[in-house]
Amino acid sequence: MALAGYAGRTPRSGVRLIKDLDASITGRDVLLVEDVVDTGLTLNYVCKTFGLRDPASLNAITFLDRPYRRLVDDLPVKYVGFTVPDEFFVGYGFDLDERYRHLPDLHLVRSG
């Protein structure tokens, strides 16, 4: 599954489904792997969508977590790599307008 929830540094007003699953998750244990969970809107969308598909269990893991930005409560985030401040990071796979993704570690983007 592939979703889009950001445009540059700005969160989108909604979630855009780019690619759906190719296989059924009915009766299966599902672990959602997220890069960042902040507002929770994207993860909430996926959880509701997957919940309708009757998985045996549904949990999430995230590399970076921003729990103080949550707009949605009760997300099934079971495992967290790092809780980070309300800053924008690039590198280690994270990009800004398709740039900086290749950097081998995380870098904080300063505004201004």
User: Which tens digits make up the pLDDT trace of 4-55?
Assistant: 765 555 655 677 788 999 999 999 999 999 999 988 998 999 999 999 999 9
**Total Cβ atoms within 10 A of residue 62:** 22
All residues at 6 or more sequence positions from 86 whose CB lies less than 8 Å from its CB, including other chains: 38, 66, 68, 69
Q: Which of 7, 12, 5 is nearest to 43 (CA)?
A: 5
Catalytically active residues are 38
User: Which tens digits make up the pLDDT trace of 54-109?
Assistant: 999 999 999 999 999 899 988 999 999 999 998 889 999 999 999 999 999 999 99
Instruction: State pTM to two decimals.
Output: 0.80
Domain boundaries of the chain, sorted by first residue: 2-109
- How far apart CA 4 and CA 19 sit, in angstroms, is 10
CATH code of 2-109, in short, is: 3.40.50.2020
